[in-house]
Chain A
Amino acid sequence: MPEVLIIGAGPAGLAAATAARRAGARVVVLDAAEDVGGQYWRHLPQQRPAGREEVLHHGWERFTGLRRELTGVEIVTGAQVWLAERHDGRPPTVHILVGPADGADRVRRVFDPGALVLATGAYERTLPFPGWDLPGVFTAGAAQALAKSERVAVGRRVLVAGAGPFLLPVASSLIRTGARVVGVLEAGGWSRLGRAWTARPTELLSASHKAGELAGYARDLVRHRVPYRVATGVIAAHGHDRVEEVTVARLDAQWAPVPGTSRRVAVDAVCVGHGFVPRSELAVAAGCQTGPDGTVVVDADCRSSVPGVFAAGEITGIGGADLALAEGTIAGTVAAGAAPTSAQRRDVLVYQRFATRLSDGHGIRPGWAEWLADDTLICRCEEVTAGELRDIAAATGSRGLRSLKLSTRAGLGVCQGRVCGRSVEELLDRTTGGLLDPGRTANRPLAGLVRLGELARTQGDPS
């Protein structure tokens, strides 16, 4: 039985693993992917190793350094955690299936760790817009993942849109994968971005290599003459069975489209991301307290509200890889029973301030609902439209998300509301005059698909 079990092998998880190992703990790291690195350090597979992976990654040497330090740590890749069984006052029992993704004969393993570090990261939030279900519309993260691990460009003529600094590395990766990027559109306006990026410049200086990293991406855009527009967004995608054009419009300070500013742009792919959602279902299942934005509440030692359960990285607040590394170091150290240095603690504070600025500048504004049409899909899985959501909410008069999910079917599909959950909640919250049970879409006791045959197999003793 491990002393420290870590879920997630991205920056936070790897930093936690190496820190816990240095502190002398027996460490096991789980990750669903077939290699470590997480989404941030996603790279070409072992069967096809890259000669110059650093072309696509800032801080690649930090990753290779961490990877070298993993000696003595048990790494379980291809590990789907499907259940965290809550206990009172101690870490949950963690149930995993190991094998090919979504396979039927994976090996079932069970862990009862002394301490658990949740480093499950985040995934992208893409706001719905008319036509966003057309093939050729991708999340920005999809473009990034396919570029990094497949060397596939999602299109030849690609528009990148949404909000936040993540759009810049995505555009950069697309360029380096052979696509022509016809523009990067940031929904935030200069006034908000400017306030976020220029106030209290000393805070930025202390995280200056972050700013330098972004400047590097910006140089890529300039060199390839990619226009970068602020206060602008993609508000519709058009095409018969694939995207052929998108409608682009100026957005006001609340992100509502400004009338008379829309124009059509021909593309064969569009990559859209408006921010990130913490991957918090395991934390919720374990009983950890979460904040209104779904992030796991932690103290300065990365302790969650459940004794023995720690959280680090994006699930504690979207802050980027440097903050994740800094938090992972704290979490792994404390989980192993040691004390972090004051320099390690200072790192966290520096990057947290940087992260706060990003959310100040790029956070989602409510005007996005203005670009929806009645027939715009909100829930992609169950194909529930904005009009259906509104009409059924009006017909039932319910102020309960649970009931409205069942009567509209929004969020009941195979992704279990991971993609639409937040948007459904926001729209229903407005329609109903306030939901009485907000936050329910993050409640997913099963953290992944499990075959009944796998479930039925005797679970065996905790290992």
Chain B
Amino acid sequence: MSDNLPAVVHEICQAHGGDRTRLMDIVRAMQQKFGCVSGPAMELLAKELSIHRVEIESLVSFYSFLSTRPKGQVVIRLCNDVIDQMAGADEVARAFEEELGIKFGQTTPDGKISLEYTACIGMCDQVPAALVNDVVVTELSTDAARRIVRELRKHGDPTRLVTRHGDGCNGHELVRAMVMNNIRQRGSIIFTPTNRGEAIRKALAITPAEVIRAVKTARLRGRGGAGFPTGMKWEFTRAAGGEQRCVLCNADEGEPGTFKDRVLLTEMPDRVFAGMTIAGYAIGADEGILYLRGEYAYLRAYLEQILAKRRQDNLLGNNILGKRAFKFDLRIQMGAGAYICGEETALISSCEGLRGDPKNRPPFPAQKGYLGRPTVVNNVETLCCVTKILEEGPATFAEFGSQGSTGTKLLSISGDCRSRGVFEVPFGIKLSEVLKLAGGEDAIAVQVGGASGQMVAREEFNRTICYDDLATGGSLMVFGPERNVLEVADKFMAFFVEESCGYCTPCRVGNVLLKDRLERITAGCGEPADLEYLQELGTTVKTMSRCGLGQTSANPILTTLKNFRATYNALVKKRGDGRQPAFDLAAAVAEAETIIGRKSTHAHA
């Protein structure tokens, strides 16, 4: 295999035009072929692309689906987010370990199977779930885990693990996934029948400025979480100088507990692509990129086919629908396992073939984004809304929802409720009503907005889902009476520690310190002063961090401190003996006791 390494490297680089900015695709192809991007491979790639080896190492070491050391031909990645763990992911993990005879982070001695944990893979409504290479396996049991290992040992082909197909287009010949859509409630905007091509036709009949005005009249705001007015974003981008502009669709749906973009890409990709095309027309861009998270690689071939069809039907390409001088096309950029790439400037870095480090702002993407071009980054759901606004007019769109939050919102609901899946609800709906819809009335807490969102207590279930109250990208994790909210917060902190890019001090270091102190408290070793410590440290991380990840990563602690203070207070205690509660004298002297061969009378008094 190593003999043909130079030839393969050459071939892969050539297939991407020897373009350094396509490094993500290049190293992904290497990883797929060789199970790693080895030292010699990095040397060859660097020569081929006229860059430095350390630049490639820098990128490869950033993404969790890439590695410099060989992995097994098959990699099992078990999702270890809190919802999966509540559904028994730990037992499934033990079953995988026992059946494989290895621990997490290891590869079987024959080099065939690696076992790893991964962060939320967007399957919280069908947990526990795992990725086996690109294949998604859901609703795992310990038996299923053992069966998967036995089958892989027999034939080594993850695609043969799929014996039943999910609903809707999950059964499409290019998807063939056991993933379920679980669309529980259809509303008036998103889950509605569509007339392919109509929105673009209507957009092209008016001027770009009028398209932007329509989006502004509809008062559409971003559905990814931040809620920036879409029309304004487009206007800024159009007004920015330069020859080339770009439309990016953020399909890096990594916020724990959210999966609605996966459903949109499965069931209505045409509407997403139409939205991108309309955005391109509005801002004057002829190029677009759909950034698809690595976890959704199983959708790629299907989406490529949809794009090919759109090109055939003149919905992409030159002179779209006969409109002279309007051309627009797009490509799919695969991610490789990094939550931070959902941050729009990190997403741009990744598209440019770099580590997924966020960029300094200003300049904002609207001024200087992808490859320095004015760039619009929109969420999948936002673009679906755009298509609907052009199809039916802004007034119809704005009829739904509330004044500051028009239209509907897709919620991804998971956890302790009877009906898990995607719900399309009008903005302004009360959290308690949502819980009734999902059959989660018993909840003691709901995490709204994913790990970076807020933990809402029962007393506040009358709050409403909208930009002015409970703003959310759509993740709702429901926690029943038997759950410990501080353990949930601890899991979220573990997630942020794992996913921090490490660029800035407060996020890189502060989250680790926060998690350590929270652990001390949940272990019953906390003292009242620890709560002040958490508050002050959390505020430092929130205020001083460079991007949205760090600015929200302390939220699991800050919002539980605010809304579940009694839970903390019950755990912390002052000790009368002058020692810190976390100090365990018996443990501290244990080693010395072994050496001298007798027990300390003080330590065991």
Answer yes or no: are A and B bound together in one complex: no
Residues of B participating in the A interface, judged by any CB pair closer than 8 Å: none
